[in-house]
Amino acid sequence: MKDQYSLLQEDLNEFEKTCVPIIINGLRNKIGKEKAVSNPYIISKLDDLGYKGLTQPRIRKIVNHIRNNDLLLLLCANSKGYFLPKNLKELDSYMETMEKRINSQIKTFDKLKTQRQLYLNSMKK
């Protein structure tokens, strides 16, 4: 079974592709972090429109596609959901937070590589 992160690496399937313009349309007016919409909210709205069967990992996959293909510029997220920044300060704050998360993940990854080598060295003894 694939985990939710490997799902992000896959191309969109046909159903997900049909959802892209609908999600973009729904996010266009979510300007400002106070108007952020969550994955469950997006899923509910798509269900109401007859697009049933989406999961939170699939919404993240679609959003990742939207961002990486410049389909909706400056799409941000916080703990409450997705939104478009209302100004550069809001965008910069999001980017700063994202950079800190990335750096933390890189540090953890580097430590795991080091620990893996320590483990292998201990097995040789």
- 78 bridge partner residues: 81
Q: What is the pLDDT of residue 117?
A: 96
Q: Cβ(62)–Cβ(45) under 8 Å? A: no
pLDDT per position as a tens digit, 42-71: 999 999 999 999 999 999 999 999 999 999
- CA-to-CA distance for 16 and 61, rounded, in angstroms? 9
Does 70 lie in the same domain as 11? yes
- Say yes or no: 24 and 57 in one domain: yes
Identify the domain containing residue 15 by its residue range. Answer: 1-86
CA 113 to chain CA mean position, Å: 25
Shared domain for 125 and 73, answered yes or no, is no
Whole-angstrom Cα distance, residue 4 to residue 101? 18
Question: How does the average pLDDT of the chain come out, rounded?
Answer: 94
Q: CA-to-CA distance for 62 and 12, rounded, in angstroms? A: 7
